[in-house]
Amino acid sequence: MTPIGFLIMGVSGSGKTTVGKALARRLGWDFFDADDFHPAENIAKMASGIPLSDSDRAPWLAALHNLLSSTLKSNHHPVLACSALKETYRAQLLDGIDKVEIIYLKGSYELIWSRMSGRDGHYMRPEMLRSQFAVLEQPENVFSLDVSMSPQDMVGKIVETYFPA
């Protein structure tokens, strides 16, 4: 199946935004970073080191689902970078939407922690990474990439897998 969109998922610091932007640029598709759609209350909680609850996430996930749906209805192709840590979140995001493939950026806590520790200007604090790993439900039957790969190599792997020459 040739996808009409991608959901790039993984914990904070796994490279979702970097890979998603590069993939969208390569395919000429629309890129969206789920972080840009959090309400101010969610950002304030995370910036204070407080993990979000499912009820905090519900309106945000609904907005992202609507974003994917409206993008597809306008004959555009979305690439959404979103943590989507739980199966229920992924199901809500893709409810009634076919042909959007999930790409899971998978890596060790240690590697991702080392990357996050050197990152400036992001509201998700490195200390919150432990809670993300605790909540993460490993997705099944999705395309996984090891985050130790370079972003360029990850994008190349996605393109050659889903759009073989």
- Give the pLDDT of residue 165: 81
The phi, psi pair for 164, rounded to 5°, reads: -60, 145
User: Can you list the residues of the chain whose pLDDT is less than 70?
Assistant: 118-127
What is the tens place of the pLDDT at every residue in 142-152? 999 999 999 99
Burial class (CB in 10 A: 0-12, 13-18, 19+), 83: buried
Q: Residue 115's pLDDT is what?
A: 79
What pLDDT is stored for residue 159 in this prediction? Answer: 98
Nearest CA to 115 among 28, 41, 17? 17
- pLDDT in the model for residue 48: 81
114 Cα distance to chain centroid: 19
Domains, the chain, in order of start with CATH, read 5-162 (3.40.50.300)
Q: pLDDT of 85-116, one tens digit each?
A: 999 999 999 999 999 999 999 999 999 988 77
Sign of CA dihedral 81, 114, 149, 25: positive
What pLDDT does 61 receive? Answer: 96
Please give the Cα distance from 104 to 90 (Å, whole number). Answer: 11
Tokens 């943590």 found at: 83
This model's pTM is above 0.75: yes
d(C-alpha 144, C-alpha 103), whole Å? 6
**With contact defined as beta carbons under 8 Å apart, do 21 and 86 qualify?**
no
Q: What CA–CA distance (Å, rounded) separates 130 from 153?
A: 27
120 CB neighbour count, 10 Å cutoff: 4
